[in-house]
Amino acid sequence: MENTKIAIVDDHALFADGLKALLESKTKIGRCSIFTSSKEAIQKIPLEKPDIVLMDVHLSDANGIQVAEELKSRLPDLKVLILTMDASRELLIQAVSAGVNGYLLKAAPFSKITSCIEAALQGDMVFAEEVSGMLLEEFKKNLSTPRKVSPLLDELSKREKEILTLVAQGKDNQTIARELFISEKTVKNYISNILSKLGIENRMKLIVFALEAGILESDETTRRDI
């Protein structure tokens, strides 16, 4: 995150100031700005052009998701992570529809927040474990009948298929690394290889591919046969 410019949009001064202090003291970011209202954020962020915005949902003068959508319409390359206390399904779906790059909860450890910032800057979609299950349910509900195992899966190694299954379950890199007893960097390398082999752009599209290809159904069948 060296020299990364971060903007925090949050009207809770204690939280925003504390997060800014942690980011500036514990990481090598270039600059961290705080905006306490939607009006200020919409006016100043397009001028400052940060690399990523950490956006609260419940601002005193607006819905943060709408602010995020407005900012991304002006700055298409801007990364926006929702950072909130609210884990409701409705807001999660609104945020994804608005094109945000992730949805995190304020209760997350600082290390989790920083790892998600890094992942988002690299083009990943990142979601708190508490909401990833709801997102998967929503995907499944809106998918057509799964195609069952895609021929493209034959391009993947056994380990890559295992990691793809965990990604499709909504698990983040830290959790996958812990479950497989490998490093987080190794997980990132595996996922990069999977994306390259399948010709897929990012983690969100990878999850959709996995669900459409019947990855979870195949995993359930395998476990029942054991």
- Identical fold, 5-135 and 143-225: no
Q: For 80-90, write each residue's pLDDT tens digit.
A: 999 999 999 88
d(Cα 22, Cα 45) in Å, to the nearest integer? 21
Residue by residue, DSSP assigns 212-223 as HTTHHHHHHHHH
* Per-residue pLDDT at 142: 64
CA dist list (Å): 4 to 57, 156, 201:
23, 34, 23
Compute the mean pLDDT over every residue in the chain, rounded to the nearest whole number. Answer: 87
Model confidence at 169: pLDDT above 70: yes
Fold of domain 5-135: Rossmann fold (3.40.50)
Q: Give Cβ neighbours of residue 224 (< 8 Å, ≥ 6 apart).
A: none
d(Cα 193, Cα 129) in Å, to the nearest integer? 23
Over residues 12-37, the mean pLDDT reads 93
Per-residue pLDDT band for 147 (boundaries 50, 70, 90) equals low
48-62, 71-85, 161-175, 176-190: least confident range: 161-175
Over residues 81-106, the mean pLDDT reads 92
In the chain, domain spans? 5-135, 143-225
* Per-residue pLDDT at 148: 56
Model confidence at 136: pLDDT above 80: no
d(Cα 53, Cα 36) in Å, to the nearest integer? 13
Per-residue pLDDT band for 225 (boundaries 50, 70, 90) equals very low
Fold of domain 143-225: Arc Repressor Mutant, subunit A (1.10.10)
Model confidence at 226: pLDDT above 60: no
* Per-residue pLDDT at 28: 85
